[in-house]
Amino acid sequence: MKGIRRMVGIDRLNYYTPRSYLDMHTLAEARGVDPMKYIKGIGQEKMSVIGPHEDIITMAAEAAAPICDDKAAIDLIIFATESGVDYSKAAAIYLQHLLEIPNPVRVIELKQACYALTSGLHLARDFVLSHPGKKALVVSSDVAWYGFETAGEVTQGAGAIAMIVSENPRLAVVNSGTPYTSDVPDFYRPNTHDVPIVDGKFSIECYNTALKQTFTPGGYTYIGFHMPFAKMADKANRILQDDAISDDALLHVKSFSKEIGNIYNGSLYLALLGILTGVGDLTGETIGMFSYGSGSIGEFFTLDIQPNYQDVIEKDAWTTHLSSRQALDMLGYEMAMEHFIKREKETDYHFSLTAPDDATFALKAIDNGHRVYTRL
């Protein structure tokens, strides 16, 4: 009916991070650094490390599978990543097959540094508005890798975010945001490089500029910030001055990020997980969200939390997943990343190890560059 506003947004939300991590004390000792430089200086306590059976598609599947309870209604899959496995074929095609989402369905992969997931969320919102009764699966999955003994090593991590976007969402209505785009060389990875080219100080300046250009005051109790490292939330919050959130609120914003590390596209949504998990009742709250992707684009938008949101979030499962991970020593960390780096360059590969008992999906093989997955 004309004049009635249709509400569209996040109906379900989930995440996945690998089952192994490296403690920052362990990394600091190996690199001859005061642990407080990592823990207090950049705000990180742990770094998730990808397992030998995993890649960005399996992580995305692990995040998405528990919330795909109405597969026939999913008409669009958007996969945001800057860790893509193919220059041509979308990672979303592998994901559609692995999750057994039936046709007809559209799929696409998006890239713009750490911003693509936010772009995908808004594209999905517009898609659902123009396709009544349909839903969209929006995912991100990334492995942040800068190399051993580099300045960025402490800001690594791995993980995935999954969201179901629908009409009358049970979790949060997504409101239109304000974007800001600028051509800057703060962080980029040309085809000739295995790891990004990073100007950390300049990138923070670009981040701050984008935040200032897009922020809309609203008296928010909670604001999620994109966090390439957890301390970035503190730096960003100071930019807001009189509109800054409290120190207690910041603790919730950073709670997942400090345990997982940088997951590129999903990093902003780790902040949302922290808020949803740590705060008692958010009914009726409007949460600010600042997304930033180097190169660069920033966007500030808001989420209106719905009355029965607690019925569709999994606080216990989210926190248990973090607390049940296994710590690695330096040898385990180095072996895991060496395996990942070597495998990602191979055109033929066979997984010969045993996946963890609680894993659901695994990369079984690479056959002439084509990836073959299995449900365990």
Each residue's pLDDT tens digit, 110-159: 999 999 999 999 999 999 999 999 999 999 999 999 999 999 999 999 99
- In percent, how much of the chain has pLDDT > 90? 98
Query: What's the pLDDT band for 257 if we cut at 50, 70, 90?
Result: very high
Q: How many CB atoms lie within 10 A of CB 141?
A: 33
Q: Count CA atoms within 13 Å of residue 120 on its CB side.
A: 33
| Predicted pLDDT of residue 31 | 98
| Predicted pLDDT of residue 178 | 96
Each residue's pLDDT tens digit, 64-112: 999 999 999 999 999 999 999 999 999 999 999 999 999 999 999 999 9
Q: How many CB atoms lie within 10 A of CB 130?
A: 7
Model-level pTM greater than 0.85? yes
Q: E strand or H helix at 198, and its extent?
A: strand 197-198
Q: What is the DSSP string of 138-188?
A: EEEEEEE---TTSTTGGG-EEEEEEEEEEES-SSEEEPP-EEEE----SEE
Q: Which residues pair with 363 in a beta bridge?
A: 373
Residue type, 237: N
For β-strands 74-80 and 106-110, DSSP reports them as parallel
Does residue 181 have a pLDDT over 50?
A: yes
Q: How far apart are CA 288 and CA 225, in angstroms?
A: 8
Phi/psi zone of residue 304: left (φ > 0), alpha (ψ -120 to 50 degrees), beta? beta
5-28 average pLDDT score = 96
Cα 157–chain centre separation: 10
| Predicted pLDDT of residue 353 | 86
Q: How far apart are CA 194 and CA 313, in angstroms?
A: 37
Burial of 332 (0-12, 13-18, 19+ CB in 10 A): middle
> Annotated catalytic, 226?
yes
251-276 average pLDDT score = 98
Q: Which residue has the tokens 């939390």?
A: 305
114, 252, 259, 299: the catalytic one is 114
For the stretch 195-203, contacts whose Cβ atoms lie closer than 8 Å and that sit 24 or more positions apart, written own/partner, are 195/145, 195/146, 195/147, 195/150, 195/152, 196/146, 196/152, 198/146, 198/151, 198/152, 200/151, 200/152, 203/294
Q: Count CA atoms within 13 Å of residue 292 on its CB side.
A: 28
What values do phi and psi take at 207, rounded to 5?
Answer: -60, -50
285-304 average pLDDT score = 98
45, 53, 206, 226: the catalytic one is 226
Query: What's the pLDDT band for 1 if we cut at 50, 70, 90?
Result: very low
Q: Which residue has the tokens 């509109």?
A: 243
Does residue 4 have a pLDDT over 70?
A: no
166-179 average pLDDT score = 98
Does residue 328 have a pLDDT over 90?
A: yes
> Annotated catalytic, 153?
no
Q: Which residue has the tokens 């935040």?
A: 211
82, 109, 259, 299: the catalytic one is 82
Share the mean pLDDT of the chain: 97
| Predicted pLDDT of residue 214 | 98
> Annotated catalytic, 82?
yes
